[in-house]
Chain A
């Protein structure tokens, strides 16, 4: 059974940093692209970052480019999102999601982790 479990969220002040983790199980993690997607309270979904299976390519939404970094450790079956210079508008539920082969869809999602940026 595919499982994605996020952690690392919490309440932080504007301008601070936070690192999210997503531990994967039930599939060969090193073979699939992975994403971070977020959802602000009572708002829609926003894709924010993609990393290829081998970390050869990374892509970001303009809203987080230069502030957030996606990475992965295939030996630990873990996806990361390092978030710097956090703003109030970064307050959201953050989901990690797995891509199927040859398609940039999201076939499995984690349960999400909440990040709140507030003074």
Chain B
């Protein structure tokens, strides 16, 4: 199984900061990676698919990058509404696996 390791587990940043969340796969996942945002009490929402493609309706301050085993989600200017837990997810090979999440807080 492919293990997805997210870091840091908790990130505290100020409004307006540039924020970078990391996700490392235990083997090459060929960019077959998504990012999901889950706000408290809500279902997750797709932000980024296939590493760097912004889902329709998602603000352009979100972006993704990476290749091989290392991937990042960047928020260019943190907004209060971005408080959430962010999960990476790989679909390169089964079983489909999520990272353990990064909880993003406002400082």
Contact = CB atoms under 8 A, between A and B. Distances in A.
B97 to A, nearest CB: 7
A105 B49 contact: yes
B94 interface: yes
Contacts of A112: 43
Interface in B41-67: 43-46, 49-50, 55
A109 interface: yes
Interface residues of B, number: 21
A112 B89 CA distance: 19
A105 to B, nearest CB: 5
Contacts of A61: 95
Nearest to A111: B43
B44 A45 contact: yes
B87 interface: yes
Interface stretch (B13-21, B69-77, B98-106): B98-106
B102 to A, nearest CB: 11
Contacts of A105: 34, 46, 49-50, 89, 91
A119 to B, nearest CB: 27
Contact of A44 (B45, B49, B87, B96): B87
A60 to B, nearest CB: 8
A14 interface: no
A50 B91 CA distance: 12
B43 A45 contact: no
Contacts of B34: 105-106
B2 to A, nearest CB: 12
Most chain B C-beta atoms within 10 Å of own C-beta, residue among A44, A111, A112: A44
The 10 closest A-B pairs by CB, nearest first: A104-B91, A109-B43, A47-B96, A45-B98, A44-B100, A105-B49, A105-B34, A44-B101, A61-B95, A107-B46
